[in-house]
């Protein structure tokens, strides 16, 4: 009997060690199953929260957009002056600008285009070259201007961007013209898009609506208020003579979630027409 007891004592620690190992394996397996479920639940929760944030921000932007249109219609938009407003818990900043203060890439005269490029830091010869390249880009013929470039020149240079040979459809297309001229986006001209449009059809911008840097270069090139159009210095109503406006809206929630939307609208007989609706889908940092 003592021998049996001694054998039992020898085998018991081994059995207990095996049981402990089995228990640890089971706990590890359970953790492997539970952790992904917990992470997935948290991710689903974050997705739901951000979906609610997005809907809330969009609703606030729509409300600010409607408010801006009403202010334009009343002649009280305060062109070029940012305004603050609150829609529920959303803080809003919006700015209405007259699109006629920008250079129309499809209709601007050669002199206006050269003034545009000069206003953004390009020297005389370089500004003239960009002017000619843009004019060649938007025309439909193959006749190259003195400092310009046509399709054959782009092909000979193995360029990745080919000229459109027609009107530019969006201000952002100007980047392709600059790329063809070897102009880096981060260098001079990085803010050109702030001063250009494709929606007014005017050969020159209206100076009072232009940015200070562009207005300084326009000289006598700027468009005057056409006969029959309202001049705010006389009427007190702040309007774009061409009836085209750019509305820039920024919305922010208390936790930092934010969205920005820009729209270009035209006031026509029968109401408003949206020419462009630009929504960068970048939400800023938020407090988790």
Residue 233 binned pLDDT confidence (cut-offs 50, 70, 90) = very low
Residue 266 binned pLDDT confidence (cut-offs 50, 70, 90) = very high
- How many C-beta neighbours within 10 Å does residue 260 have? 19
CA distance 215 to 231: 18
Q: Residue 176 sits in a domain of what CATH number?
A: 1.10.40.60
Domain end position, chosen among 170, 195, 220? 195
Instruction: Provide, rounded to the nearest whole percent, the portion of the chain with pLDDT above 70.
Output: 74
Residue 199 per-residue DSSP state: S
CA distance 100 to 116: 14
Q: Is the same domain home to 124 and 262?
A: no
Q: Is the same domain home to 284 and 157?
A: no
Q: Spell out the SS3 assignment of 154-188.
A: HHHCCCCCCCCCCCCCCHHHHHHHHHHCCCCCCCC
Structural domain count, the chain: 2
Most confident option among 81-95, 156-170, 220-234: 81-95
Query: Is residue 164 included in any domain, yes or no?
Result: yes
Spatial neighbors of 285 by CB under 8 A, at least 6 apart, are 256
Q: Is the same domain home to 68 and 211?
A: yes
């Amino acid at each position: 009997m003592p021998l049996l007891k001694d054998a039992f004592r020898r085998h018991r620690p081994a059995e207990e060690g095996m049981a402990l190992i089995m228990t640890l394996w089971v706990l590890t397996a359970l953790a492997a199953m539970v952790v992904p479920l917990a992470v997935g639940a948290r991710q689903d929760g974050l997705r739901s929260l951000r979906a609610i944030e997005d809907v809330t921000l969009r609703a606030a932007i729509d409300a600010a957009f409607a408010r801006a249109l009403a202010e334009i219609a009343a002649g009280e938009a305060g062109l070029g002056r940012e305004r603050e407003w609150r829609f529920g818990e959303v803080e809003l900043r919006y700015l209405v600008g007259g699109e006629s203060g920008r250079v129309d890439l499809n209709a601007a005269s050669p002199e206006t285009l050269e003034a545009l490029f000069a206003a953004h830091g390009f020297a005389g010869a370089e500004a003239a070259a960009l002017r000619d390249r843009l004019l060649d880009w938007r025309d439909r013929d193959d006749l190259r201007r003195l400092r310009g470039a046509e399709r054959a020149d782009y092909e000979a240079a193995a360029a990745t961007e080919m000229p459109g040979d027609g009107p530019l459809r969006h201000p952002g297309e100007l980047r392709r013209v600059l790329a063809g001229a070897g102009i880096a986006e981060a260098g001079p001209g990085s803010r050109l898009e702030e001063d250009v449009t494709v929606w007014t059809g005017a050969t020159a911008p209206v100076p009072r609506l232009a940015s200070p840097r562009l207005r300084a270069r326009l000289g006598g090139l700027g468009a005057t208020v056409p006969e029959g159009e309202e001049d705010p210095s006389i009427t007190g109503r702040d309007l774009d003579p061409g009836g085209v406006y750019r509305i820039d809206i920024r919305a922010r929630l208390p936790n930092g979630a934010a969205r920005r939307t820009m729209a270009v609208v035209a006031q026509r007989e029968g109401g408003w027409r949206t020419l462009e609706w630009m929504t960068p889908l970048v939400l800023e940092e938020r407090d988790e």
